[in-house]
Amino acid sequence: MLTQLLKFLSRLKSPSIISTKGNPMDSLTIEYAKSMLGLPYRWGGNNPLTGMDCSGFVLEVLRSCGKWGKYDTNAQGIYTKCTNTTSAPQQGTLLFFGADIAHITHIAIALDDYRMIEAGGGGSSTVSLIAAENQGAFIRIRPISNRNDLVAKGTI
């Protein structure tokens, strides 16, 4: 895990250079999200150095492009601030998963209409770096189709 954190720090782009023009998740913002690949998942986490859960990861990315303030929330809370879309996911579309739109339990960012980047593989018992490593819980890219509970798509 320490090696992954050091790699992340060496790749880290200063949020001050990330563009806020155009798509809310332009290419530079997506590259920032990708720079966190392999970092550990941590339930309730919102810090790249100590681990992030799905909403902590998405909020970190949204803040980097100036689309979110300092307050924290969960996936359901992010959904309430989104503009819904019915079109196919594209780079930067937020993907919401759960039983229905009133019970959203997971959030990810679409890279295109096939892949997403997410903090996943963990759960409420993933509260340490060791637990994340043992559970294979980390920031990763996966096919959107790996989940069958997509309930909404949106942008901020």
**CATH code (residue 11):** 3.90.1720.10
Range of 147's domain? 2-155
pLDDT at site 2: 52
- Written as one letter, the residue type at 87 is S
pLDDT per residue, tens digit, the chain (156 aa), is 556 555 555 555 443 333 334 445 788 899 999 999 999 999 999 999 999 999 999 999 999 888 888 889 999 999 999 999 999 999 999 999 999 999 999 999 999 999 999 999 999 999 999 999 999 999 999 999 999 999 999 998
| pTM metric for this prediction | 0.85
Number of domains in the chain: 1
